[in-house]
Amino acid sequence: MKNSKIVTFYSYKGGVGRTMSLANVAFLAALDGLKVLVMDWDMEAPGLAYYFRGLHDAAEAKSLKNTRGLLDIFWDWSASAELAQSDADVQELFEGVESGEVFAKCIRPLVGPGLFNRQLKLDYISAGAMTIGAEGLLYEDALSKFSWNDFFEKYAGGSVLEYLKNWAKTEYDLILIDSRTGFADVAGICTMQMPDEVALCFVLNRQNIDGIARVSAAIRERRNEEIGLLAVPMRFSGGVGESSEISDAKARAVSELARTGGFSTLAVQEDIRNLAIPSVENLPSYETLAPFIAADPKFDQLTFNYRQLASRLVGQEVKIPEISSKTIELVRRRLQPRHATEEFLENLTVRQSESAVSDLQLLIQSALESIVNEEYIDPDYVKALVKASDGVADESGDLTEVISIKMAAVDLLRAMAVVYPSEWRLHLIDKLSDVVDFHGFGLEYESQLALLEELDFLLSSSSTTNLKLRRIEFRRKAAWIYVDALNVDALKRTIGEINGLRKDLSGAKLALDQSMEVVAIDVDVLRLKAEVEFQRKSYPAARSELTKALALIEHALKNDEASSLSRMIFSIHIRFTEIPRPFVSPREAAEHAVAAASNGWMSQRIVIRFTSLCRIVLGSACDVLAVKFCESLFGSDGRVKIQLGNYYGRYPEQALDFFKVVRELVAIVSKHEDMARVFSICDSLSEAASSVRKGLIRRRRTVNEKDWEALENEFNLLTGLFTRVGVHVETHTSVLENRFFMRAVPGRFREEDE
């Protein structure tokens, strides 16, 4: 290569394949005999070294994660410049960068010995070490505190970059920079100050095209055509037989890069034709180099396209020499999924579910093996894996799969907590809490209890009030599982544990929300004691505990209806209605049903219990309570009528029960002396009944004739009753509507029927 060259690989958005392209170009150029340096300037999310893992052993891969790099250079320069007191101090600073010694100390070879017939010159400068500066700041903290403005304005940082450029071009034929995305300070350095050329990497969507065009315009305006620009489409699926959508996207890219980006139309068209990197199916989930996944690199389309790009960048044809089968086998073995870049993990959520889940599980298993084998694993990588597991789980519609993904992340955090307990215990607690709180309903009782016991153990050494409260919360969850499992002995034991933990909070200074949480604990204990009495069939004792719980909540609320405690009132009133009648009078049970219906927090749960609550109210034979119940139910919330229609209009048995109980309810409500209130209630009930019928019509084809006849008869009786009160009922029986809702759909059920 006649002249050394610095080329920046830039993309406006992540996930386009920029880093993979740079890595392959670097490797192919080095394989052809060029001296190549790659620099990881993606300082917010470094990961360039991952692509070269197969070229060295595991020990070197580990050491590459903690090697001095760019941030070390800039941090040390700024710190030394700040402390410089004399011309001699300044001279000493400049001597370090003029000689290149500062930069040479950061160089690490990416190719291990013995892989190829001759030793390749492929070197790497990282984004920075795990700790930065004399202060030993964590990389992330140092990066957030580093002032690029001071670096350039106060400490002549521009000269450091010039010396870095000169040193690199003296030592290497080709220098490749992996740039930060967007318009960050680092991206500006990489696109405007450092390079001779910029490879603008993009996919054919509007956001990428517009962003690249704007960056191109900014570079041309700043550098007056001093920097060569190349348009490099990624994940490209054009060519013979391309779709109209691809053709339109290409045309838009050509137009926008010419109009805004300053390219000539011919130049963009040639770049798209000659430099595009194709979209390839069934690529391995791990970051790698194309020649090592190809059956034959010389005939591999992806390798060919990377070679085309490399040839264009170095200004001469790049050849691909024979790679021995022994080398390919060794590299592939090293490349079996171990780790992935954060960029790859972020993109998992947009992949097809089955593929994403499989890849993620392999990566988590690989990370687990690394921990078990006492190999170093980057904490940020573990966090990225856990974050990716959340994203992939959120995209899955299969509860079993979701739980499997979540539990794989739990296993990973368990392993980290064993090795680094102080750093990872809270992470494990949070993830276990997530599984228990949001997915526990999908687990068997035994599995839920096992997770809750693990949480109790992890929180047993906690000293802060918040963590103590969390521990009690999980014991409460365990207690309610024992209620459902009818395990009285375990329930009594757990109540004792909760009481013991509650005593530890006595005398503690609590914030308002913590005080309310303590009240919730006391209420729950009373409710749990009531459940013990229910299971013993000691109903007077159960009633006594529920009464105390209700009084405690009402005292604590003090008109604060927004408190989460108000939600517990519903469950207590419902439980009162379930006490057998000899121990609670019909009127008292009806009063509790009315109180439950008054709880606006729990409208959906009220809807599910509507028919049973109605029967309790009807059992009192009191029109005043029936009116109160209906007014409490509907209030000012129109959603309840819709929810009743959605719930009871799905199955004929439920709908029939609904029509019957509403008919009885209307009969007793209509006896009330205030006809204005009666009319309002009946109007709401008629809308709900009409909505239920509408749902049934949508499912008419799934209802047999006998059931449909019974439903029609009951609805007609209800309609007649409403008519006598003076309320109109929408019957949904027009020819047009019936055709719409009852039309057969050939070859499949309708979505509503499913």
Nearest to 70 by CA among 168, 199, 170: 168
Q: Residue 726 and residue 93: Cα distance in Å, rounded?
A: 95
| 625-628 own/partner pairs: CB under 8 Å, 24+ apart | 625/587, 625/590, 625/591, 625/594, 626/665, 626/668, 626/669, 626/672, 627/669, 627/672, 627/674, 627/677, 627/678, 627/681, 628/594
Task: State if pTM tops 0.85.
Answer: no
In a domain? residue 410: yes
List beta partners, residue 123.
37, 109
Is residue 58 over pLDDT 90? no
Is residue 322 over pLDDT 60? yes
Are both 438 and 450 inside the same structural domain? no
In a domain? residue 606: no
Per-residue pLDDT, 741 = 38
Are both 173 and 294 inside the same structural domain? yes
> In sequence order, what are the residues at sequence separation of 6 or more whose Cβ sits closer than 8 angstroms to the Cβ of residue 695?
645, 646, 648, 649, 650, 655
List beta partners, residue 10.
200
Using CB atoms within 10 A of its CB, is residue 610 exposed (0-12), middle (13-18) or buried (19+)? buried
Is residue 463 over pLDDT 80? yes
More confident of the two residues 402 and 737: 402
Per-residue pLDDT, 40 = 96
Per-residue pLDDT, 748 = 33
Is residue 37 over pLDDT 90? yes
Is residue 743 over pLDDT 60? no
Identify the domain boundary among 320, 335, 350: 335
Query: What angle do the packed helices 445-459 and 465-484 form, to 10 degrees?
Result: 160
The enclosing domain of 270 has a CATH number of: 3.40.50.300
In a domain? residue 600: no
Is residue 640 over pLDDT 70? yes
Residue with tokens 């064993």: 418
Are both 232 and 370 inside the same structural domain? no
Is residue 649 over pLDDT 50? yes
Mean per-residue pLDDT, 356-378 = 82
Are both 306 and 383 inside the same structural domain? no
Q: Which two tokens stand for residue 69?
A: 């790099």
At 130, which amino acid appears?
M
Q: Where in the sequence is the domain holding 686, given as residue range(s)?
A: 624-754
pLDDT digit string, tens, across residues 120-170: 999 999 999 999 999 899 999 999 999 999 999 999 999 999 999 999 999
**pLDDT class of 749 with cuts at 50, 70, 90:** very low
Are both 420 and 457 inside the same structural domain? no
Is residue 314 over pLDDT 70? yes
Q: Residue 378 and residue 386: Cα distance in Å, rounded?
A: 13
Per-residue pLDDT, 362 = 81
> In sequence order, what are the residues at sequence separation of 6 or more whose Cβ sits closer than 8 angstroms to the Cβ of residue 295?
none
Mean per-residue pLDDT, 203-226 = 90
Q: Residue 703 and residue 706: Cα distance in Å, rounded?
A: 8
Are both 324 and 351 inside the same structural domain? no
In a domain? residue 399: yes
More confident of the two residues 373 and 478: 478
Per-residue pLDDT, 535 = 95
Are both 98 and 246 inside the same structural domain? yes
Q: Residue 572 and residue 549: Cα distance in Å, rounded?
A: 8
Mean per-residue pLDDT, 88-102 = 92
DSSP for 334-356, written as a single string = HHSS----HHHHHHGGGS-HHHH
pLDDT digit string, tens, across residues 412-430: 999 999 999 989 999 999 9
- pLDDT > 90 in the chain, percent: 59
More confident of the two residues 590 and 14: 590
Number of domains observed in the structure of the chain: 4
The enclosing domain of 543 has a CATH number of: 1.25.40
Identify the domain boundary among 285, 320, 335: 335
Q: Residue 182 and residue 70: Cα distance in Å, rounded?
A: 19
Are both 211 and 351 inside the same structural domain? no
Mean per-residue pLDDT, 650-674 = 93
Mean per-residue pLDDT, 18-25 = 94
The whole-chain average pLDDT of the chain stands at: 88
Per-residue pLDDT, 698 = 85
Are both 413 and 473 inside the same structural domain? no
**pLDDT class of 283 with cuts at 50, 70, 90:** low
In a domain? residue 592: no
Mean per-residue pLDDT, 8-24 = 92
Mean per-residue pLDDT, 592-606 = 83
DSSP for 488-521, written as a single string = HHHHHHHHHHHHHHHHTTTT----HHHHHHHHHH
In a domain? residue 594: no
Mean per-residue pLDDT, 42-47 = 90
In a domain? residue 521: yes
Is residue 710 over pLDDT 90? yes
Per-residue pLDDT, 577 = 95
Are both 371 and 308 inside the same structural domain? no
Per-residue pLDDT, 753 = 38
Are both 181 and 218 inside the same structural domain? yes
**pLDDT class of 329 with cuts at 50, 70, 90:** confident
Is residue 309 over pLDDT 70? yes
Of 66-75, 350-359, 378-387, 693-702, least confident by mean pLDDT is 350-359
Are both 419 and 501 inside the same structural domain? no
> In sequence order, what are the residues at sequence separation of 6 or more whose Cβ sits closer than 8 angstroms to the Cβ of residue 21?
9, 199, 201, 232, 234, 277, 306, 309
Sheet hosting strand 36-40, strand order edge to edge:
108-109, 122-125, 36-40, 174-178, 5-11, 197-202, 228-233
In a domain? residue 436: yes
Identify the domain boundary among 402, 419, 443: 443
Q: Which two tokens stand for residue 517?
A: 């949480």
Instruction: Yes or no: say if 731 and 693 are a contact pair by the CB < 8 Å rule.
Output: yes
Per-residue pLDDT, 155 = 92
